[in-house]
Amino acid sequence: MEIKLVLKDLNLYYGDFQALKNISLEIPKNQVTAFIGPSGCGKSTCLKTINRMNDLVENCRIEGLAAIDGEDIYSPQMDVTLLRKRVGMVFQTPNPFPMTLYDNIAYGPKIHGIRSKRQLDEIVEQSLRSAALWDEVKDRLKKSALGLSGGQQQRLCIARALAVEPEVILMDEPTSALDPISTLKIEDLMDDLRKKYTVIIVTHNMQQAARIADRTAFFLLGEIVEYTDTVEMFNRPKDERTERYITGRFG
């Protein structure tokens, strides 16, 4: 099993508050890894350390190691723009840009220097196909992305992330604002994405983690209580707190 990302003895502070405590994880390549746990337990905070989104938070301080393919993510030599190209992010609420579907997808490649219309056309089509959206929108690429349904907007945001050819895709509760049918489409999409990408998803939905994740980490109060194969965790949790959480008896 090839390891894509390593977090070792990672601590994160917001001022005096310690949000992450001694986080150590090895995240495999080409698998879906789920972060589960109650609200405020550090799942999303941990997710954002992987592409340095926490850099944008005032008084945020990080200790320990976060590495992608052996490269220290927080090294002074790490180009943050290139890191965020390698590690894409999809947020809880769909956030398409107020522009056409085509321009939403082409935006990232243009920033990274691609100007050829033919090449951009290919990227737009391939990204939308990879996000299982092409057949639904191919005749309306010049229309505003804001006219799409919520589920379509979220798949558009996934396509936008794929357009810059990332290696890792981070998803922070990507289906929490969607209806069951749209949720199922996103889950099917994640199943396909793992063939080419390393996917990490934060979810409150235990059934979703059980359905789509190869491995699952259970967070509680900024720490990892348990991290193991998803089937193992849901069938034979090693920690009583994990069992109480996944069976809904937590609290």
Residue the block writes with tokens 């979810």: 203
Cβ neighbours of residue 243 closer than 8 Å, sequence gap 6 or more: 237, 249
Using one digit for the tens of pLDDT, what is the confidence trace for 62-84? 999 999 999 999 999 999 999 99
pLDDT averaged over every residue in the chain: 94
* Assigned domain for 191 exists: yes
Cβ neighbours of residue 150 closer than 8 Å, sequence gap 6 or more: 94, 177, 178, 179, 182
Task: Count up the domains in the chain and report the number.
Answer: 1
Q: How far apart are CA 9 and CA 23, in angstroms?
A: 5
* Assigned domain for 105 exists: yes
pLDDT of residue 241 exceeding 90, the answer is yes
* Per-residue CA distances from 56 to 47, 59, 82, 87, 226 (Å): 14, 9, 16, 16, 29
DSSP 33-69: EEEE-STTSSHHHHHHHTTTGGGGSTTEEEEEEEEET
- The 8-class DSSP code of residue 5 comes to E
* Assigned domain for 102 exists: yes
* Assigned domain for 147 exists: yes
* Assigned domain for 18 exists: yes
* Assigned domain for 251 exists: no
The stretch 76-99 carries a mean pLDDT of 94
- The 8-class DSSP code of residue 248 comes to T
Residue the block writes with tokens 């396909």: 192
CATH number for 197: 3.40.50.300
Query: Which domain covers residue 223, as residue numbers?
Result: 3-246
The stretch 163-173 carries a mean pLDDT of 95
Structure tokens at 134: 């092409």
pLDDT of residue 250 exceeding 70, the answer is no
Q: How far apart are CA 89 and CA 146, in angstroms?
A: 19
| Residues counted in the chain | 251
pLDDT of residue 202 exceeding 60, the answer is yes
